[in-house]
Amino acid sequence: MKEQPFEFQRNTSKILVTGAAGFIGFHLVKSLCKKGFEVTGLDSMSGDIIDLQQARLSATGIFAKNLQYGKLEQSRKFENYSFVKLDITDQENIYKLFEHNRFDIVCHLAAKTGVRRSLECPDEYIRSNVEGFSNILEACRRFQSKRLLYASSSSVYGANTVQPYSVEQPTDSPISMYAATKKMNELMAHAYSHLYRLHATGLRFFTVYGPYGRPDMAPFIFTKAISEDKVIKVYNNGKMSRDFTYVDDIVQSITLLINAGVETEELCQLYNIGGGKPVELMGFISTIEKHLEKKAKKQFLPLQDGDMISTFADVKPLEKKIGYKPETSVEEGIRKFVEWYRNFYG
């Protein structure tokens, strides 16, 4: 997929990226900075992977030791990038940030992620994913951001069995609290679009992986365990498939959507962003084994609560909108991920 020339003039469109120390947010920040946008990153820097978050920040020229809560820190790598340590549930300071900066575009990626933990701590997900998103929506309205793009998830398809998943399908049967909060985000965005004419675009991501990826996701879990000669847990006896999507394809789609602009009649939109092809779990594990040059020790287990057996994205609407076609094969994506993992963890 060839990159399109950007319509926005350099350094005139101000973009806020929430979750900027997160996996997708980090990669998006780098891409937008290189394209000349004036970018502000925001992240609470909470969670269990502080070392990885700090490494992502460092790669964008932000050093964790300098951070003060609520204070913008200038990047030492990108002159058009600054970062603020801030929690999206902190309504007062979120409003101050928007008031002082007047963002044209908001890319909202901050959230509590992961199905498993949402079953154990649903209150955390409601606070961050629902209350936090409410603060972002209201800040966009109050301070007149032109556009909001926000992360949803393939998990909203829940108990749906008809594949490939289309955004036209009903999504009223979530099977995890994480999925329920993401569906709530879509409903809230729709209401704000209807009531206040906010241009809001929801992005249903499908199993994103790549360098600096999340440690709670299968590619990272399997690579780490196999590298350390530990047993990997294979649920539903391996009879699962996922529409794995390489992070560069995700970032490319977001930047192309920003470039595509908005049409007046399309106030509220939803798109699937996936690889467009389900991959069998056992085949995925074999690919990791190949690039690690090690065999996995497998423990086969029943399906877990909240898990979807299969995911498969219909990406035709996104292709029609921006010419999106995922470029990175699972073979190539896993090779790049394993190479990064070995370099990062030695």
Q: What is the pLDDT of residues 92-139, one digit of tens each?
A: 999 999 999 999 999 999 998 877 777 888 899 999 999 999 999 999
Report the chain's mean pLDDT, rounded to a whole number. Answer: 91
Tokens matching residue 61:
């020229």
Q: Which residues contact 181 (CB under 8 A, 6 or more apart)?
A: 111, 112, 118, 125, 126, 129, 130
pLDDT band at residue 196 under the 50/70/90 scheme: very high
What pLDDT shows up at residue 346? 81
| pLDDT(44) > 60 | yes
| pLDDT(263) > 70 | no
Find tokens 């995911």 and name the residue: 311
| pLDDT(2) > 90 | no
Single out the residue of 106, 185, 115, 92 nearest to residue 147, CA to CA. Answer: 106
256, 248 contact by CB (below 8 A): no
What pLDDT shows up at residue 8? 37
Cα 302 to Cα 36: distance, rounded to the nearest angstrom? 49
| pLDDT(229) > 90 | yes
Of residues 267 and 93, more confidence is placed in 93
What pLDDT shows up at residue 133? 98
| pLDDT(55) > 60 | yes
Domains and CATH numbers, the chain: 14-208+244-275+313-327 (3.40.50.720)
What pLDDT shows up at residue 70? 95
Single out the residue of 178, 170, 175 nearest to residue 158, CA to CA. Answer: 175
What pLDDT shows up at residue 304? 84
| pLDDT(7) > 60 | no
pTM: 0.93
Q: Which residues are catalytic?
A: 178
What pLDDT shows up at residue 48? 60
Q: Which string of b and e fits 154-188 if b means at least 16 CB within 10 Å? A: bbbbbebeebbbebeeebeebbbbbbbbbbbbbeb
Of residues 1 and 120, more confidence is placed in 120
| pLDDT(46) > 90 | no
Q: What is the identity of the amino acid at 231?
A: V
What pLDDT shows up at residue 11? 44
Find tokens 């003039």 and name the residue: 9
| pLDDT(265) > 70 | no
What pLDDT shows up at residue 9? 37
Dihedral of CA atoms 177, 178, 184, 185 in degrees, nearest 10, equals 170
Mean pLDDT of 182-193: 97
